[in-house]
Amino acid sequence: MPNFICPSCGNRSISTDRTAGFHSRARGCAKCGFGFLFELLDDYYP
């Protein structure tokens, strides 16, 4: 399951899809509303 992190606020989220619904645009941050998220290959956050 992919892990995502927001480059603006640092909020981490887990999601099964990389896009927002049926759109081809990238997911945005649910906490601060930033336009895109970075996908982490491995999440080592304790």
Complete domains list, the chain, with CATH: 1-46 (2.20.28)
CB atoms within 10 A of CB 3: 17
For the cut 80, the answer to whether the pLDDT of residue 11 exceeds it is yes
CB atoms within 10 A of CB 9: 11
pLDDT in tens, 29-41: 889 989 888 988 8
For the cut 60, the answer to whether the pLDDT of residue 42 exceeds it is yes
pLDDT cut 70: percent of the chain above it: 74
For the cut 80, the answer to whether the pLDDT of residue 44 exceeds it is no
For the cut 70, the answer to whether the pLDDT of residue 2 exceeds it is yes
Report which of 42, 45, 12 is spatially closest to residue 29, judged by C-alpha positions. 12
Task: Judge contact between 3 and 16, C-beta under 8 A.
Answer: no
Q: How confident is the model at residue 22 (pLDDT cuts 50, 70, 90)?
A: low
41: Cβ contacts below 8 Å, ≥ 6 apart: none
Token reading at 37: 């998220």
